[in-house]
A and B are shown apart, each in its own frame.
Chain A
Amino acid sequence: MSHEHEQATEHLHVHRYPPRPDQDDTLTYYRAMEVAVRELLIEKGVFTAVDVRRQVEDMDGRNSGRGAQMVARAWLDPAYKQRMLADGSKAAEEIGLEVGPLKLVVVENTPSVHNVIVCTLCSCYPRMLLGLPPDWYKSRNYRSRVVREPRAVLAEFGTVIPDETQIRVHDSTADMRYLVTPMRPEGTENWSEAELARLITRDTMIGVALADRA
């Protein structure tokens, strides 16, 4: 090792963290293909760079508040809940939530059934209602384990399901997307729809958590 190099290394040690590399991304085969296709479509006038940016912004801006609005309505209105369980997409549109081509299946937690959602093949997720999926939802750990040891995985989330409650894991392998309606906590009888919606978090609608007054 040259003297110069030693000095440079020592200089780096002065900073607590190594500097971030200038290029924080690698241009892989599929990334190059995405850039090429996007540029061609913009050149051909199919859409503009502004359209792309706006779509990304919209996608990033969506959050689980949309799903929570649906579930809160279902908690308050039994007739709405029945329509929602029969046809999730139609029920979303009924309260003004645009879901596009999404085919939504809503499943209901009860004292005898607990539902949890996964996509073992990739990361299918009801993005129109919950926003972007959390990183753990896309991890191999969650995807491979929740279908074969759901009780153990749920316990790691702090969610312990009683033995007498059946667990139903829903694997979104094809065209449907799933949303769990958690059980409404006791002691919320006179709460408004907006108050209730605050208890209905992303994780309760994936099924890895229970709605809780705390």
Chain B
Amino acid sequence: MTDVVAPQFHVGDRVTVRAAYPIGHVRTPYYVRGKHGIIERLCGAYPNPEELAYARPGLPKQPLYRVRFLQRELWANYAGQPADVVEVEIYQHWLEAQEQA
């Protein structure tokens, strides 16, 4: 058994952040949960902070991605420009492949 989960997404893939609300030390901000974005890059694999916070080893390591979200997707009344984006680091276990429309 390996201690790293294999990366499941590639640059450019459309993903949806899980709309889950577990208690504990979670590093997925509320404002992106349930939102659609695009994989910007794979950052490597790191121990799961939700486990590390409770002094557990956090293994297997989770692939970590930078996901790009359009501001318009995140905020209903975004006042800036349509092309503006936010990029957020999200662990793979928070991401799902986006259903094709």
Contacts and interface: CB of A to CB of B under 8 A. Distances in A.
Interface of A: 103, 105, 120-121, 147-152, 163-164, 166-176
Interface residues of B, number: 26
A164 B11 CA distance: 25
Given A148-B75, A149-B79, A171 B46 contact: no
Nearest to B78: A148
A167 B84 CA distance: 5
Given A103-B43, A121-B27, A172 B89 contact: yes
A150 B84 contact: yes
Contacts of A164: 81
Contacts of B81: 151, 163-164, 166-167
Interface of B: 27-29, 31, 43-44, 46, 49, 64, 66, 71, 74-75, 78-81, 83-91
Nearest to A114: B84
B43 A169 contact: no
A168 B87 contact: yes
Contacts of A150: 80, 84
Given A171-B88, A174-B27, A176-B66, A151 B80 contact: yes
Given A164-B81, A173-B89, 13 more contacts: A105-B43, A147-B31, A148-B31, A148-B71, A151-B80, A167-B80, A168-B85, A169-B84, A171-B87, A173-B27, A173-B29, A174-B64, A174-B89
22 contacts: A103-B43, A103-B44, A105-B43, A121-B29, A149-B80, A151-B79, A151-B84, A166-B85, A167-B84, A168-B86, A168-B87, A169-B85, A170-B86, A172-B89, A174-B43, A174-B46, A174-B49, A174-B64, A174-B89, A175-B43, A176-B64, A176-B66
